[in-house]
Amino acid sequence: MMKKKNYLIGVFNDENVLLSAIKHVREAGVKIHECYTPYPVHGLGHALGYKRSRLPIAAFMFGITGTSLALLMQYYMMGADWPMIIGGKDYTALPTFFPVTFELTVLLSAFGMVLTFLVASDLRPYGKAKVFDLRATDDKHIMAIDLGKNKNEISVIKKILQDSGAAEVNEKNM
**Residues in 28-47 that interact with another protein by CB under 8 A:** 28, 34-41, 44-45
Q: Where are the beta strands (DSSP E) in the chain?
A: 6-12, 34-36, 141-146, 168-173
Q: Does 94 bind another protein (CB under 8 A)?
A: no
Q: Which of 5, 6, 31, 167 binds another protein (CB under 8 A)?
A: 167
Q: Which of 31, 64, 72, 156 binds another protein (CB under 8 A)?
A: 156
> What span, in angstroms and rounded, lies between the C-alpha atoms of 86 and 24?
70
Q: Which of 159, 168, 170, 172 binds another protein (CB under 8 A)?
A: 159
Q: Does 173 bind another protein (CB under 8 A)?
A: no
CB 35 within 8 A of CB 20: no
Q: Exposed e or buried b for every residue in 102-117, given b needs 16+ CB within 10 A?
A: eebbeebbeebbeebe
CB 35 within 8 A of CB 143: yes
Find the binding residues for another protein in span 130-149 (CB under 8 A). Answer: 130-131, 134, 136-139
Binding track over 45-84 against another protein, x by CB under 8 A: x--x-x--x-xx--x-------------xx--xx--xx-x
Give the rounded distance of the alpha carbon of 77 from its chain centre.
Answer: 39
Q: Does 111 bind another protein (CB under 8 A)?
A: yes
Q: Does 96 bind another protein (CB under 8 A)?
A: yes
